[in-house]
Amino acid sequence: MPRELTRQSVRQEAGGIQLDIEVSSKDLTVRVALSGVLDQAGLKRVILRVARLLSGRGCRVVLDGSGLTHMDYRSTRDMIRWNRNLRQFGHQLYLQSWNDYLKAILCMEDWERELPQVFPAPWSVRFGARI
């Protein structure tokens, strides 16, 4: 019965749990649009793809969560660790357009509040914009 109450996209129904990742880079900003379900394996894929695009120091990494439907809470610790590593090289992680459900998952595991605040969509970082 709960399954009938939870809407899933056709892609998730057909292919199981899937994460789509679109990465673009301009100047010192790497923008990652996520859609689907973010789990530990998906976050590792994101980290590897972003690492290839980080040049020098002081880059901005923007994770756009507007297409995410769910996040495995176990990936929060990996995201915290990634954020620490990014900061060691002067990079900044920004979370853009994460809904209240996803924010709650992050807050439950991020006890020290190490992850950046989630920006609301209208004010959030646009690709290539200065922060």
Least confident interval from 14-23, 53-62, 103-112: 14-23
State the pTM of this model. 0.75
d(CA 50, CA 34): 13
Domains of the chain: 2-119 (3.30.750.24)
pLDDT tens for residues 6-40? 454 444 444 456 899 999 999 899 999 999 999 99
pLDDT confidence tier of residue 106, bands split at 50, 70 and 90: confident
Residue 22: the pLDDT is 95
SS3 32: strand
| pLDDT surpassing 60 at residue 83 | yes
Amino acid making up residue 102 = L
Of all residues in the chain, the percent with pLDDT exceeding 90 is 58
Give the model confidence (pLDDT) of 110-121 as tens digits. 777 778 766 544
Angstrom distances, CA of residue 76 to CA of 19, 34, 120 = 16, 15, 20
CB 106 within 8 A of CB 76: yes
| Residue 123 confidence (pLDDT) | 37
